[in-house]
Amino acid sequence: RKGDEIIVRSVAAELPPAEWDACLSGPTSDLSADGGASQSQKQKASVKRQARRAAAQSKARAEQEALDEARQRSEELKHQSLEGIAWAQRRAWEAEERERMRRRHEQRGMHEEEVQLQQALRVSAAMGDRVAEAE
C-alpha cells in the first residue's frame, strides 16, 4: 500500500494540482481514436491508468492479506481442535485404563479371598476330622 501511494504521489507531483484532479475525475477514453491527443492528454491518461492500476494492486494485496489471515486463523483453530480431540481421547483412554486396573485388582482380591476361604474350610475340615478322630 505504501509503495502504491509513493507511485501515485510521484506521478501526481509531475502534474499541476488542477490537471491531477482533472485526470482523476475524467474518463481515460476521451482521447481521440486517431492518436491526435495532445501530450498533456496522453500524460493525464497515463497517470490515471497508473493510479487505477496502483489502487487495484493495493486492493488486491489487501484482499490477499485478509485471505491469508483467515487461512492462518482457520489452521490455528483446526490445530486447537485437533489438540482438544487428542486431549479428550487421551483422558478417555486413561479412564478406561483406570477402570481395567480397578477390575483386575478387584478380581485379584476376590481370587485371594476365595483361596483364603478354601484354606479356612480345609483347616476347619481338618480340625473337624481331628475332633471326630479324638472322639
Counting residues of the chain whose pLDDT is more than 90, the rounded percentage is 21
* Least confident window among 33-37, 63-67, 80-84: 33-37
Stretch 76-100: mean pLDDT: 91
Residue 58 burial (10 A CB sphere; 0-12, 13-18, 19+):
middle
The predicted structure's pLDDT at residue 28 = 52
**Is the pTM higher than 0.75?**
no
Residue predicted with more confidence, 131 or 73:
73
Stretch 70-74: mean pLDDT: 93
The predicted structure's pLDDT at residue 99 = 93
Chain mean position to CA 83: 11
